[in-house]
Copies of this chain bind each other. A is one copy, B any other.
Amino acid sequence: MTTSREVRLKSRPSGLPTNDHFEIVSVTLPDPAAGEVQVKNTWMTVDPYMRGRMYDGPSYAAPFQVGQAMDGGAVGTVVKSNDPAFKEGDTVQSGFGWREAFNAPAKQVQKLDTMGLAPQLFLGSLGMPGLTAYAGLMRIAGFKTGDVVFVSGGAGAVGSMVAQIAKLKGGTVVATAGGADKVAFLKDIGVDHAIDYKAGDLAKSVTEAVPGGIDIYFDNVGGDHLEAAIGAAKNHARFAICGGISAYNNIGAAPGPKNFLLTVGKRLKIEGFIVSDHWDLMGEYAKEMSGWIKSGKVQVRETVEDGIDNAVNAFLKLFSGGNLGKMLVKL
């Protein structure tokens, strides 16, 4: 018998969520049944896409259910095993985030070979957000050496990987973030043109940074960032639409890009994508990225909140710019 606390969705938020939409509940875990393992989570992730799962509607990810624990990525340690495939002390990855510990069928957790790296990296640069960056940049946008890449949310978990991958592969990078600390981080990681979107006219800043225009836009933000990208696009530019965090908490519809019609004359290709269509790239990506991290060619930044009590706060900070790099909860 073990006690665990878990975060449940208490009610569906309309607009920006608050702590009141969630509750933390203690549960007791029996010993794992045959074929099960018991895992104590050491890290869990919060990601912007989870906001979409708080709506009750058809989407690419099933909605969270009111009154039930939410789920999401986590890494942890097997503390009890009732399955021959796992033993106590194994480091594992699972979709059972938002809780301190859990029992699950052995098939629903994966052994994690950390390759000597910190395990939480597999929730960020070496996990879903990193692969999102890679798939969007390389496969959706079709990055080629010499491309001018504009990435919004450049200091975030996905954006900071887009920026660094593009630099390492021979691109010129324009990236936006909000505030001086984040802009300093962008410069640290080699971004050619780091723009504080809160500090001036965004569209003007982008066109002044790269008067010749952009070949690729990687969108994490939407809204005025997307408009600025359409305005700055070269003919035949490619847009990888990963998300639009500026609108995730909108009540009702968000305004679309007012200059959308430039799509015709500029022959833009705008493509939305979700990472789960691109897991086939994980092998090549993890190999390349782990090498870059080990050699110091890629810098990984994390913002860490402590304990399950702060998990909701960590999530909410994603929408107020409270994270530099990957937002994580240490359990």
Contact = CB atoms under 8 A, between A and B. Distances in A.
Q: Is the interface of A mostly helix, strand, loop or mixed?
A: loop
Contacts of A14: none
Contact of A256 (B260, B266, B274): B260
A265 B59 contact: yes
Nearest to A261: B244
Nearest to A58: B265
Contacts of A226: 260
Contacts of A267: 271-274, 277
Contacts of A260: 222, 226, 244, 254, 256-257
B269 A263 contact: no
A255 interface: yes
A269 B271 CA distance: 4
A86 B258 CA distance: 49
B253 A256 contact: no
Interface in A240-267: 241-244, 247, 253-267
Contact of A268 (B60, B259, B271): B271
A270 B263 contact: yes
Contacts of A259: 253, 256
B263 A241 contact: yes
A258 B258 contact: no
A260 B246 CA distance: 13
Interface of A: 52, 59-60, 222, 226-227, 235, 241-244, 247, 253-274, 277
